[in-house]
């Protein structure tokens, strides 16, 4: 599944509109002047609109991508792709990369 590589400046949100940011980007490789994000780096979610229990099971606090590129690595870890599957905790809903760089595509 080819897709654009994710970097620190990519706009990533949880399913409820919360802003997700990578906690540990890989600084030695950059695209569009910003560090890429690898599969091992969890995301921190802020501003999730999912209500807490007992109304809902939220808000989203963290997110993790489940798959990355198969042919593009940084520091031995797969680089994240825009279309890769992800999951947020504790809601088990996906994250979505709305905007990213458009110069580098990975497989």
CB burial readout 29-64, b (16+ within 10 A) else e: bebeebbbbbbebebebeebebeeeeeeebbbbbbe
Please give the model's pTM, rounded to 2 decimal places: 0.93
Give the integer Cα–Cα distance in Å for 107 and 2: 4
**Angle CA(60)–CA(54)–CA(43) in degrees, nearest 5?**
5
Q: Can you give the pLDDT at residue 10?
A: 98
pLDDT confidence of residue 53:
87
**Residues belonging to the chain:** 107
pLDDT tens readout for residues 60-84:
999 999 999 999 999 999 999 999 9
pLDDT score of 49 more than 80: yes
pLDDT bin (cut points 50, 70, 90) of residue 55 is: confident
Give the residue extent of every domain in the chain.
Answer: 3-102
15: pLDDT strictly greater than 90: yes
Averaged pLDDT for residues 51-58: 88
Q: Residue 17, by phi and psi: left (phi above 0), alpha (psi -120 to 50) or beta?
A: left
Q: Which CATH number fits domain 3-102: 3.40.50, 3.30.160, 2.60.40, 2.60.200?
A: 2.60.200
């Amino acid at each position: 599944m080819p897709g654009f590589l994710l970097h620190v400046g990519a706009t990533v949100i949880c399913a409820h509109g919360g802003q997700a940011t990578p906690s540990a980007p890989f600084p030695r490789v950059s695209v569009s002047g910003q560090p890429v994000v690898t599969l091992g780096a969890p995301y921190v979610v802020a501003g999730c609109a999912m209500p807490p229990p007992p109304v809902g099971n939220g808000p989203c606090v963290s997110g993790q991508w489940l798959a990355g590129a198969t042919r593009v690595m940084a520091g031995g870890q797969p680089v994240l792709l825009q279309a890769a599957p992800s999951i947020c905790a504790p809601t088990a809903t996906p994250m979505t990369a709305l905007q990213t760089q458009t110069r580098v595509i990975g497989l």
